[in-house]
Amino acid sequence: MRGPASDLPSPDRLRCQRGQASVELVAILPLVLLVGAILWQLALAGHAAWACANAARVGARAEAVGRDPERAARSALPGYLEPGLEVARQRSGATRVEVGVPVLFGLAGRVAIASTAALGRPTR
């Protein structure tokens, strides 16, 4: 006769499965951390590219009105992007801003991202 009590696993079988969830968690945790670190790095790179483009526009605007483009670009950047900032004026009159994005939370150095912007001066 088969009933609800016969469908339950035996105590011996339960004892051998003890800790299975912990083992699975330990096995998957490095993958979850890796995916999280990759997503964080992509978000950081995207933010740095956006901030670099904005700093280039601000530098070009400052250049157009006779101000210091490097100082203007530096003021437009978040603090973590200021180390390694390079601002250059190109022959075409455009302003090029290059920043270093920290890789692996700054442990593996920085990767350069650059942006160029130009504002035309009105002709008379």
> How confident is the model over 95-107, as pLDDT tens digits?
999 998 888 776 7
What the block records as the tokens of 28 is 């998957």
pTM of the model: 0.71
Helix (H) or strand (E) holding 37: helix 20-64
**DSSP code for 2:** -
The fold for domain 9-117 equals: Pantoate--beta-alanine Ligase; Chain: A,domain 2 (3.30.1300)
Domains of the chain, by residue range, sit at 9-117
For the sheet containing 86-89, what is the strand order?
86-89, 95-102, 110-117
**Cβ atoms 97, 55 nearer than 8 A:** yes
> How confident is the model over 5-22, as pLDDT tens digits?
566 666 666 566 667 777
